Chains A and B, each alone.
Chain A
Amino acid sequence: MKIWALAINTFREAIRDKVLYSLIFFAVLIIGLSVILDNLTIGEPTKIIKDFGLASIEIFGVLIAIFVGIGLVYKEMERKTIYNILSKPIHRYQFIIGKYLGLVLTLLVEVLTMSIALFLILYFYEGKIAFTLLPAIGMIFVALMIITAFALLFSSFSTPILSGLFTLSFFIIGHLTPDLLELVKKADSQTLRYVTEALYYIFPNLEYLNIKGQVVHHLPLEKGYLFFASLYGLLYILIILLLSMVIFQNRDIK
């Protein structure tokens, strides 16, 4: 209940911030733009719309996750609004979870809004609802939850600019490590292989959660893929959140 109050308050902050609206507006605009592009290219109709649509859902989600996420704890400390929370019967871990859930809720609204826009456009073209995109959207959402957890983690001990840079690099490296791993498999250097492998396990494997290509090109997924990918994501989130709580537990609220 207390956690819910914190989450709703965080959600409300994001909702009442005009930045969010402009972001969503912009994203929907881009999906609209893809319609024009789609008409200009030959090949399977709506493929570009789907590509563009899914990509913009992800990119704008990441932008929101980072921009809002890096301020989650920092802003409360900076503006001292946190005094009136932690002086009340609230555990510090409750504060962390509440903040996290608030942003996840915000992202859910973003992903839902944009998905509905995408589905409407596709319905107009294909005359049916593009249910096949749902797994990809689900995985995007899991990836966004991971990014949010990272932003929150950094936000609990660092400044927004640093947190933003850290989070962004985790996002980028998270998409690159599988490729790197492939590359260095052929390398001679043993240490290079170890380092890359270590990186591979420390950074989130966001490529694992990226099934946009398969979905758009109607490639089959392995059995249980979605289940294990989600499980992987949730475990990852759990670890990052626990780490944030441990860091935050003993911090002085100055």
Chain B
Amino acid sequence: MEHIIKTENLSKVFRAPFTFKKINALTDLRLEITPGEVFGFLGPNGAGKTTTFKLLLGLLKPSRGKIWLWREELKKIELKSKIGFLPENPYFYNYLKAKEYLHFCRHLFALNSQESKKRVDALLDLVGLPEHKNRLIKTFSKGMLQRLGLAQALINDPELLILDEPMSGLDPLGRKEIRDLILDLKNKGKTIIFSTHILSDVETVCDRVGILIKGNLRDCGPLEHLLNPKIKSFELCIKGLSIETVHNLEEQGLNLIKRGNEIFIRVEEKEEKNLLYYLLEKGGELVSFAPRKETLEDLYVNEIKSIDNHHENLGFGN
């Protein structure tokens, strides 16, 4: 099959400073990204997302494995002319103005045409910095830096965009704008791979997702394939129950959440009927009753939990 990015057994081992202990940041990653798709890269802190991106761009050398971009080995520098990269928490030169920085980036791509000059202004408008073109980057806020980072990633009108946490640091409106921008770029036929911690962003824009945990790709595929489409459980909200009844429910080991005089109960499928009859019989007043499908959050949390010692290793205790 045609692909834009392909990796085979891609691995990166770091050496911890002083102790020289091995850190397996990425282990045998096998990834294929096809043209025109939006791929969401999920994973807890330290999972290896940024490491993967840096390997793809040749900033880091793989400890093992291979990378192909457009079917060519990464060594060819020209391949990068077709890539736009937004690093996480992008950094710039404090002594430059936003516009000057973009012109600098333009020259790094050897883009000297009149058209590319105009693109600088257009991009600053696009990412929502029209009033800050001639301001020193030193005075920018976090979100403004993020926007400038996006502008520089688009300066060469890239075919492939690699975005490391593009929504981080943005206000809700900014996040929506970036989401729309990603969809817009997708419609123009661009290929986009981005990492994020915000699951709803993945659900709205991604064709496929990959879940990376401790350097291992655990799940990878279209969202609807990864998530179980069957209804797994029900959530009901009820009020007007006596204290004894609540107590009784708790003793049966049911998962209750009390909020004011309302009680939320999550119940597995097949048991919902009996429970409902029982509650109504006890004089409960039904507020809501809803079937629940597996969400990305469920999948994500389960994946992380299934790696038992994850928290131990990060030093969070328990």
Contacts and interface: CB of A to CB of B under 8 A. Distances in A.
A87 B77 contact: no
A86 B78 CA distance: 12
Contacts of A6: 108
A17 B59 contact: no
B87 A87 contact: yes
A116 B159 CA distance: 51
B80 A89 contact: yes
Nearest to A81: B91
A179 B256 CA distance: 87
Contacts of A89: 77-81, 108-110
A250 B81 contact: no
A83 B95 contact: no
B93 A81 contact: yes
A223 interface: no
A154 B182 CA distance: 42
A188 interface: no
Contacts of B89: 80
A88 B108 contact: yes
Contacts of A85: 108
A90 interface: yes
Given A1-B107, A2-B107, A89-B80, A84 B58 contact: no
A90 B109 CA distance: 8
Nearest to A83: B87
Nearest to B136: A16
B152 interface: yes
A2 B112 CA distance: 11
Contacts of A17: 95
Contacts of B77: 89-91
Nearest to B92: A81
B202 interface: no
A230 interface: no
B58 A86 contact: yes
B57 A87 contact: yes
A253 interface: yes
Nearest to B152: A84
A48 B83 CA distance: 59
Contacts of B79: 89
Contacts of A83: 59, 85, 87, 90-91
A6 B93 CA distance: 12
A239 interface: no
Contacts of A12: 95-96
B95 A252 contact: no
A254 B112 CA distance: 31
A9 interface: yes
Given A252-B60, A253-B59, A88 B95 contact: no
A5 interface: yes
A79 interface: yes
B104 A9 contact: yes
A79 B107 contact: no
Interface string B66-90: 0000000000011111010101011
B87 to A, nearest CB: 4
A161 to B, nearest CB: 17
B207 to A, nearest CB: 24
B54 interface: yes
Contacts of B95: 12-13, 16-17
Interface in A7-63: 9, 12-13, 16-17
Nearest to B53: A87
Of the candidates B90, B104, B112, the one having the most CB atoms from chain A within 10 angstroms of its own CB is B104
A79 B91 contact: yes
Given A13-B95, A84-B92, A87-B80, A2 B60 contact: no
A85 B96 CA distance: 15
B61 A90 contact: no
Contacts of A9: 93, 96, 104
8 contacts: A2-B108, A16-B95, A83-B90, A87-B87, A88-B81, A89-B78, A90-B80, A254-B60
Given A84-B87, A253-B59, 15 more contacts: A2-B108, A6-B108, A17-B95, A79-B91, A83-B59, A84-B85, A84-B90, A84-B92, A87-B57, A87-B87, A88-B81, A88-B108, A89-B78, A90-B108, A252-B60
6 nearest A-B pairs in the assembled complex, by CB-CB distance: A5-B107, A253-B59, A87-B85, A16-B95, A89-B80, A80-B91
Interface of A: 1-2, 4-6, 9, 12-13, 16-17, 79-81, 83-91, 250, 252-254
